[in-house]
Structure 1
Amino acid sequence: MTIPYVPMAGTAYQRGVRHGQVRGAALRAFLDDGLTRIEHLLSEPVDRTTLADTLARYDAAIGRAVPEFAEEIRGLADGAGLTRAEAVLLQARREILGYRRIPTAGDCTTYARCGADPVMAQTVDLNGDLDDQIAVLDTGHALVLSFGGLLGYLGLNRAGLAVGLNLVLGGQWGPGLPPYLAIRHLLDVCDSVPDAVKRLRDLPLASSRSITLCDRDQAGFVEVLDGATRWHASPEPVHTNHFLDPDLAERDEINVFARNSSLRRYDACRSALAGLPAGAAAEEHFALLSRPPICVPDNGDIRRERTVAAVVAFPRRGELHVRPGDPSRSATEVFRLAATDPGSGVGSGA
């Protein structure tokens, strides 16, 4: 498959309109497919009245945290022909699903290396068969991997910062800034790992996450749980889906089967990374990400997480290398930050 590329420029509203225009047909089909496939994943029907109220509270929380996102969501809705509530649902979909109603078996393996040519790499493991919803957004300042109309997910920026993520489970989830959007905000405004760590501590995140950060000088991860943040610096951080901070680990709510998967992937990734030479090429990183147990195969159950993409980001180069779907079966597409504005056409997959 060819990954859709969305060059975005102008005001926040104009960026949203462009996103919606390019992805509108796919997003409308996604919403029509069991309400972004939520109804295929839950065991009980969605209460539309309760959902409308919840989405209104997410909308307000997002606008308070990052006012520009309220405008970008408005533009996304207008460009794609959606209601505002539908555009907000695309941003808060994972929080709406929650974690107590959806048994989680695995969700991403991430690692990074700082240095002269820093790299951040990860698998993206999601349920809902979301590999058909992938896109790359080019804001001119950042390259952002997106799924299903999200304003953000993971990526890199022109300042040389890369940001990835892992699902970790715990605490109360509720209206706030979805971590995917928080990552986009970090890419929009931060120029270093310390800056991103500081800003992340002030964001009212809607749900628990581990966020991996990498630039030339530093790398590490921030685990977030109920407003508490724990920063762990490392020249080669590895993270899967269990809390690594000793204090937060006591509140981990990952189920035993998912924890076993997380531990296997964590150990396998650390071992493989130790054997990967400094300065390894993107294809060497993809070889690591494509092997089991790090790559999670499709077992045919839409409710189970599987690897729907793999990413290798070189932030100093401004390069985002992506393999859509199962990375052991797909070809690499390369996206580069444009030398000028994103409307120039430079930056599309090569």
Structure 2
Amino acid sequence: MTGGGAIPLIHASGDPFAVGHAHGRALAGPLRAFLDDSLCRLNKVMQEPVSLDGLLPSIAAYRASVTAAVPALADEVGGLAAGAGIGLDEAWLLQLRREIMGYRKVPTGGDCTTYARNGAGGPVLAQTVDLNGDLDDYLSVLRVARTDLPGRRSLVLSFGGLLGYLGLNSDGLAVGLNLVLGGDWRPGVPPYLAIRHLLDSAGGVTEALEILRGLPLASSRTLVLCDRERVVHVEILGEELRVVEGRVAVHTNHFLHPDFVPDDEINVFARNSSVRRLKAADAGLAALPPGAGAEEHFGLLSQSPICVPDRGNIRAERTVAAVVMLPDAGELHVRPGDPSLSGTQVFSL
């Protein structure tokens, strides 16, 4: 699919349960269809089949960890279930889908290329979203205004009922991510939910880093954070974090910090792809003028090898969206599907 249709925008406000309820009510039909499609397509991309009953112990363990660490998001999952008319365990499964997939040491063509910079022209964070499962048909944007967090609003890119994936908030914080592979994946706060928690709770990069250090994170990732003052990437491996700061951050899918490189579980084929995309993004960003607009950034994100084409294999990662975030303007620019084939949709706080 090219995913070129209009992306649903969901206005969600109130307390956490009400925010989840609005999200679930708006997408009740699609979420039911997603769950019924080979258990949110898990059984189309995993080597061994899974069932909801078989996953219940894992779901319970993750749910307990999230509830202890970020109870507001647990309440929001409850609201999502009620609004969509799905079971509570099903609503949690939507949040845990990537954790259940785990990581496979198999060749891959891509898994997100992310960069950020600030300075002249203002801050920008841009990335491709490379996923398997053909998920561009379940793309949505949440505009969140929680009444228990007065004055802070967020725009969140979501897939298939996720409370969080990437986004920006009204304080000028933007957060993107990359998959990196290493360490033990275990019950904890999934990085997608951690990103949503940062957007709900942090006024900028400095506060986000303090919050992140206090979360029991479930799995390895790199987060890229920027505001008008700071640009960092944070590599997560087990219980350890490494923060690298500069005016520019560029990251793909292999560890860059020397402390973590020996523990990288990426296979050689995927690493070669990751290195190629890193070099292309680094060079392409350096060539863009400081005041480059969103469309110029999409021009870079649409180029090979940064944009990963559809090879007709649902198990293979491909670019299912590209995003340019302008935190100062409070704007989230999205091209669904292959960004070289789709137009830009703009969402504003």
TM-score w.r.t. the length of structure 1 is 0.95
- CA offsets, 1:276-319, max 9 Å, x none? 00010100000000000000000000000000000000011100
- Aligned-pair CA distance for 1:115: 2.2
1:106-117 pair list within 5 angstroms: 106-115=110-119, 117=122
Residue 35 of structure 1 aligns with which residue? 39
Residue 259 of structure 2 aligns with which residue? 247
- CA offsets, 1:307-337, max 9 Å, x none? 0000000011100000000000000000000
State which of 307, 316, 319 in structure 2 corresponds to 1:295.
307
Separation (CA, whole Å) in 2 of partners of 1:268 and 1:8: 37
- Confirm or deny that 1:70 pairs with 2:74: yes
- Aligned-residue sequence identity (percent) comes to 61
Task: Read off the aligned partner of 2:136 and give its amino acid letter.
Answer: D
Separation (CA, whole Å) in 2 of partners of 1:241 and 1:322: 21
Query: Aligned pair count?
Result: 337
- Aligned-pair CA distance for 1:71: 0.7
- Aligned-pair CA distance for 1:48: 4.1
- Confirm or deny that 1:159 pairs with 2:163: no
Q: Is the contact made by 2:227 and 2:327 (CA closer than 8 Å) also made in structure 1?
A: yes
- Aligned-pair CA distance for 1:95: 0.5
Helix, strand or coil at the partner of 2:263:
coil
1:5-20 pair list within 5 angstroms: 5-20=9-24
1:19-168 pair list within 5 angstroms: 19-100=23-104, 104-115=108-119, 117-140=122-145, 141-168=153-180
In structure 2, the CA distance between the partners of 1:79 and 1:47, relative to structure 1 (3 Å rule), is closer
Residue 320 of structure 2 aligns with which residue? 308
- Aligned-pair CA distance for 1:102: 6.3
Helix, strand or coil at the partner of 2:341:
coil
Separation (CA, whole Å) in 1 of partners of 2:23 and 2:94: 13
- Aligned-pair CA distance for 1:103: 5.4
In structure 2, the CA distance between the partners of 1:147 and 1:102, relative to structure 1 (3 Å rule), is farther
Residue 347 of structure 1 aligns with which residue? none
Q: Is the contact made by 1:176 and 1:204 (CA closer than 8 Å) also made in structure 2?
A: yes
Separation (CA, whole Å) in 2 of partners of 1:49 and 1:105: 33
In structure 2, the CA distance between the partners of 1:42 and 1:170, relative to structure 1 (3 Å rule), is same
1:213-252 pair list within 5 angstroms: 213-252=225-264
Separation (CA, whole Å) in 1 of partners of 2:155 and 2:119: 21
- Aligned-pair CA distance for 1:104: 4.3
Separation (CA, whole Å) in 1 of partners of 2:27 and 2:172: 28
TM-score w.r.t. the length of structure 2 is 0.95
Task: Read off the aligned partner of 1:81 and give its amino acid letter.
Answer: G
Helix, strand or coil at the partner of 1:139:
strand
Separation (CA, whole Å) in 2 of partners of 1:130 and 1:175: 24
Q: Is the contact made by 1:179 and 1:205 (CA closer than 8 Å) also made in structure 2?
A: yes
Separation (CA, whole Å) in 2 of partners of 1:39 and 1:105: 21
Helix, strand or coil at the partner of 1:237:
strand
Helix, strand or coil at the partner of 1:6:
strand
Separation (CA, whole Å) in 1 of partners of 2:39 and 2:194: 24
Separation (CA, whole Å) in 2 of partners of 1:176 and 1:93: 14
- Aligned-pair CA distance for 1:105: 3.9
Separation (CA, whole Å) in 2 of partners of 1:107 and 1:270: 16
Unpaired stretches in structure 1, ≥5 consecutive residues: 338-350
- Aligned-pair CA distance for 1:100: 3.2
Task: Read off the aligned partner of 1:107 and give its amino acid letter.
Answer: D
Q: Is the contact made by 1:17 and 1:77 (CA closer than 8 Å) also made in structure 2?
A: yes
Separation (CA, whole Å) in 2 of partners of 1:299 and 1:105: 10
Task: Read off the aligned partner of 2:63 and give its amino acid letter.
Answer: D
- Aligned-pair CA distance for 1:50: 3.3
Separation (CA, whole Å) in 2 of partners of 1:96 and 1:104: 18
In structure 2, the CA distance between the partners of 1:170 and 1:104, relative to structure 1 (3 Å rule), is farther
Separation (CA, whole Å) in 1 of partners of 2:339 and 2:189: 30
- Aligned-pair CA distance for 1:45: 1.7
Helix, strand or coil at the partner of 1:123:
strand
Q: Is the contact made by 1:125 and 1:296 (CA closer than 8 Å) also made in structure 2?
A: yes
Separation (CA, whole Å) in 1 of partners of 2:322 and 2:109: 18
Residue 279 of structure 1 aligns with which residue? 291
- CA offsets, 1:68-104, max 9 Å, x none? 0111000000001111110001001001000037654
Q: Is the contact made by 2:113 and 2:277 (CA closer than 8 Å) also made in structure 1?
A: yes
- CA offsets, 1:140-162, max 9 Å, x none? 31000001100000000000010
Unpaired stretches in structure 2, ≥5 consecutive residues: 146-152
Instruction: Give me the CA root mean square deviation.
Output: 1.1
